Amino acid sequence: MPEPVTIILNGERRPVAAGSSVAAALLTMGVAARRSVSGEERSAVCGMGICEECRVMVDGRAGVRGCLVTCRDGMEVRTNG
Amino acid sequence: MSGGNPDVVIIGAGIVGAAIAERLSAERLKVIVVEADCAGSGATAAGMGHVVVMDDSEAQFALTAYSRRLWQEKEACWPKAAEYRRPGTLWVAADAEEFAAVEHKHAWYGAHGVQSEILTAGDLAREEPQLRPGLAGALRVPEDMVVYPPAAARWLVERARRQGAVYMQGARVEHTTGSVVTLASGTVLHTGGVIHAAGAQGGHLPVTIPVAPRKGHLAITDRAPGFLRHQIVELGYLKSAHGHETESVACNLQPRATGQVLIGSSRQYGVHTAAVELPMLHRMLRRALEYMPGLAGLPVVRTWTGFRAATPDGLPLIGRAPQCEGLWLATGHEGLGITTSLATAELLAAQMLGREAAIPAEPYSPSRFGEKSAHA
């Protein structure tokens, strides 16, 4: 197993498996990517860029589909972003 | 509904069928609604939900103005999910020629008792700062509304059920006459009358009706509250929507209650597959960006399509089907089905119950196309 990388999730340092997508990392940690209009927690459904349910903020950029981005060391991820 | 045959079977629980079911069940008629998919899933789900008064003909005006009033009268009834709001419409003029049309439209509405106001270029920039600079102005129609059509249709079906209507979901009609409806499941319903409210889907009918599917695309962005305040329609829309080119697009933007921006519109004849077509979507989004460049910064989270039921003269078919006793039509509403659904239900109910309607029904009579369209 390669060494884990560390992302900064909502301000907290969290180790994740190297090569994980952001969506996979969030699912592994049990953290929802976003909340729906009615306040329900949402996470990746399709994992391939179609469903738009895993949108998060990555390094200050809003609306990024977590399933299409691979975790990098020091990457800042914000849910509900 | 107690025992015995229904008075009427309504085919289709889109916004039109649902409105009719609600209206007729309120009159204590025994109503069965058969819906192949689920309520509000067809053209209703592909409508923007813009409740708008139109002025392209006296008949179109009469129907849309009457129906908008009916939406407004129900204001207190709509559930939160129906997202009933009144942002008003801005008919945007790109140049001096279109601004002349704004002035004409303003005078016409005024003469017909519809409130509207002219916005200069400066007013328009203040009202909608995301519009590109250099537009000539706009006409604001403050009482136009926006609803979320599938939720409105579901609520109408629910209310019809509370009034005794029977709702059969997932029931596809194989064939119908004016008195016998045969479902794909083999179930046969005997009824006093049949109302076809299934939009452009008429394969089950014993007669041919002058309705053709006209495909449309929609796109919706992520939430961006405050980005846009009014329903924004380019005045060129009137040309493209009511012309008969095979393909056209127009800038039509709507602020949803969630803060999302709903983007339309496209019109295509002769296409029968529901897939999103990227070249058409591209054209539509390009048109929207020409008017509102800042949209480029909002991620589009969904795109989808639907089929409007278009008639040769742009007016719906409301009334008895020629050459088929017992069969009634409530279709052909094209891009105005959400707006005109409630008036359609009133007009049809009045005809079925032998009462006088609030507006003359003749302009929408299916018999206006003569007998030649009658037999399959």
Hey, where are the domains in chain B? Answer: 8-46+149-209+314-369, 86-144+212-310
* Farthest-apart Cα atoms in chain B, separation: 65
Q: Is A1 on the interface with B (CB under 8 A)?
A: no
Bridge partner residues of B326 (DSSP): none
Q: Is B179 on the interface with A (CB under 8 A)?
A: no
H/E stretch holding A64 reads: strand A61-65
CA dihedral B82, B86, B90, B91 (to 10 degrees): 70
Find out whether B316 and B364 touch, Cβ atoms under 8 Å.
yes
pLDDT digits (tens, 9 = 90+) for B301-320: 999 999 999 999 999 999 99
Which CATH number goes with the domain that contains A35? 3.10.20.30
Bridge partner residues of B261 (DSSP): B255
pLDDT on residue B63: 98
Closest CA–CA distance from residue B60 to any residue of chain A (Å)? 36
* Farthest-apart Cα atoms in chain A, separation: 40
Record the tokens describing residue B197, joined without a space. Answer: 């409210």
Q: Burial code of B230-245, b = ≥16 C-beta within 10 A, e = fewer?
A: bbbbbbbbbebbbeee
| N- to C-terminal Cα separation, chain B | 34
Q: Is A76 on the interface with B (CB under 8 A)?
A: no
- Across the interface, do A55 and B222 touch by the CB < 8 Å criterion? yes
Find out whether B109 and B115 touch, Cβ atoms under 8 Å.
yes
Chain A partners within 8 Å of B301 (Cβ): 52, 55
Q: Is B258 on the interface with A (CB under 8 A)?
A: yes
What CATH number should be reported for the domain whose range is B86-144+212-310? 3.30.9.10
Record the tokens describing residue B224, joined without a space. Answer: 């961006």
With CA atoms as reference, report the closest residue to B234 among B74, B91, B55. B91
Residue A3: which pLDDT band, with cuts at 50, 70 and 90?
confident
Kindly indicate whether the ipTM for this predicted assembly is greater than 0.90, answering yes or no. Answer: no
Cα gap B249→B246, rounded to integer Å? 11
CATH superfamily of B8-46+149-209+314-369: FAD/NAD(P)-binding domain (3.50.50.60)
For residue A45, give its domain range. 5-78
Q: Is A14 on the interface with B (CB under 8 A)?
A: no
Cα gap B8→B346, rounded to integer Å? 15
Distances (CA, A) of B163 to B38, B159, B190, B273, B310: 19, 6, 21, 37, 32
Closest CA–CA distance from residue B40 to any residue of chain A (Å)? 21
With CA atoms as reference, report the closest residue to A8 among A67, A79, A75, A55. A75
Record the tokens describing residue B235, joined without a space. Answer: 């005045």
Q: Is A37 on the interface with B (CB under 8 A)?
A: yes
Q: Is A49 on the interface with B (CB under 8 A)?
A: no
DSSP state of B246: S
Cα gap B292→B288, rounded to integer Å? 6
Pairing of strands B247-255, B261-269: antiparallel
Find out whether B130 and B253 touch, Cβ atoms under 8 Å.
no
Predicted structure pTM score:
0.91
pLDDT on residue A2: 76
Closest CA–CA distance from residue A3 to any residue of chain B (Å)? 34
DSSP state of B1: -
Chain A partners within 8 Å of B222 (Cβ): 52, 55, 63
The total of structural domains in chain A comes to: 1
**Cβ pairs A/B, distance under 8 A:** 11
pLDDT digits (tens, 9 = 90+) for A13-61: 999 999 999 999 999 999 999 998 888 999 999 999 999 999 999 999 9
With CA atoms as reference, report the closest residue to B239 among B287, B286, B279. B287
- Across the interface, do B222 and A63 touch by the CB < 8 Å criterion? yes
Digit-by-digit pLDDT tens for chain B (376 residues) are: 456 899 999 999 999 999 999 999 999 999 999 999 999 999 999 999 999 999 989 999 999 999 999 999 999 999 999 999 999 999 999 999 999 999 999 999 999 999 999 999 999 999 999 999 999 999 999 999 999 999 999 999 999 999 999 999 999 999 999 999 999 999 999 999 999 999 999 999 999 999 999 999 999 999 999 999 999 999 986 665 556 678 999 999 999 999 999 999 999 999 999 999 999 999 999 999 999 999 999 989 999 999 999 999 999 999 999 989 999 999 999 999 999 999 999 999 999 999 999 999 999 999 999 855 444 4
Instruction: Count how many residues are written for chain A.
Output: 81
pLDDT on residue B237: 65
pLDDT on residue B239: 61
Count H helices, E strands: chain A? 1, 7
H/E stretch holding B264 reads: strand B261-269
Q: Is B81 on the interface with A (CB under 8 A)?
A: no
Find out whether B304 and B207 touch, Cβ atoms under 8 Å.
no
Name the residue in chain B with its Cα closest to that of A39: B258
Distances (CA, A) of B251 to A66, B45, B108, B235, B264: 31, 19, 23, 9, 6
